[in-house]
Amino acid sequence: MQTKSFSLEFFPPKTPEAAEKLRATRVKLAVLKPAYISVTFGAGGSTQAGTLETVTEIQQSGISAAPHMSCVGSNRAEIKALLDTYIARDIRRIVALRGDIPSGMGVGSAGEFRYANELVQFIREATGRHFHIEVAAYPEVHPQAESHSADLQNFKKKVEAGADSALTQYFYNADAYFRFVDNCAKVGVTVPIVPGIMPITNYKQLARFSDGCGAEIPRWLRKQLEDFGDDVEGLRAFGLDVTTELCRTLLEGGAPGLHFYTMNQVEPTMQIWRDLGIGAN
């Protein structure tokens, strides 16, 4: 049986204090023995330097690090230089993305790459099989997709270009994931598709993120989260319970692992991971 992959995601810290805090988070979460820790790029205004510094520290601590790399607005020479830097630092895994196009800029004017499949193809041409390439997948359909079927075909293009596996946008509807995996298989896409898990701890923040990225908070869940109002602890306990149940359903249904959006926090991921009994991964 294929071993399941349990991984974590960080975002680069913006201040020296946040960097210190993230170091402590990494040390605490290291006991879970994650398969790797990925680090976002460009999201929320973070810089390329922040991603590079953070992955370098993770890698030096003995945990495999995977930088996210978005191609929007970049040219081939810049991407090649960054790939060379990662190779020099012994990085073996990359999360290859298009990134979000700044408002007012069309796809055509967004640099030498228009879509993530072009980045994947370029990474393979420039570096052969050096990197394990992860790409993004959207069980609830990418918010800008022309249609459900177009999005599926576009996902397939990334795999045909050389992606080894995928990480999903977060979702709270396990059926959307299972249906997506089935639909992928029907069009011949069988790479591992690992669900991205966003632990529920803060309703307002979650609602804001979800509006931006097209992830649906089902009505039954939204209504119950709204009821907690200022009861932060109650919401957190309920939210983590719901997230843990989702993870259990996904794993029992055959998901090839889980990728946790930690938001640079220790406790939510630690609690879910331990409750699932994957602490000794």
Q: Which stretch binds ligand FAD (CB under 6 A): 53-61, 152-160, 176-184, 273-281?
A: 152-160
**Closest separation between CB of residue 250 and ligand FAD, Å?**
15
H-assigned helices in 76-147: 76-88, 116-127
Structure tokens that stand for 36 in this block = 């790797």
Q: Which of 87, 126, 145, 251 binds ligand FAD (CB under 6 A)?
A: 145
Reported as half-sphere exposure (CB side, CA atoms, 13 A), residue 9 has a value of 23
> Would you count residue 42 as binding ligand FAD (CB under 6 A)?
yes
Q: Which of 98, 131, 191, 221 binds ligand FAD (CB under 6 A)?
A: 98
Q: Which stretch binds ligand FAD (CB under 6 A): 151-159, 185-193, 228-236, 269-277?
A: 151-159
> Would you count residue 57 as binding ligand FAD (CB under 6 A)?
no
Which H or E run includes 152?
A: helix 148-160
Q: How far apart are the first and last CA of the chain?
A: 15
Name residue, tokens 């989260």. Answer: 225
Q: Which of 36, 41, 122, 177 binds ligand FAD (CB under 6 A)?
A: 41
- Burial classification of residue 269, based on how many CB atoms lie within 10 Å of its CB (0-12 exposed, 13-18 middle, 19 or more buried): buried
The answer to whether the Cα torsion of 87, 90, 96, 97 is positive or negative is negative
Whether 267 is catalytic: no
> Would you count residue 121 as binding ligand FAD (CB under 6 A)?
no
Structure tokens that stand for 154 in this block = 């576009």
Q: Which of 6, 36, 86, 115 binds ligand FAD (CB under 6 A)?
A: 115
Interface residues with ligand FAD (CB under 6 A) are 40-43, 68, 70, 95, 97-100, 115-117, 136, 142, 144-145, 150-151, 154, 157-158, 167, 169, 196
User: Any idea which residues carry the catalytic annotation?
Assistant: 9
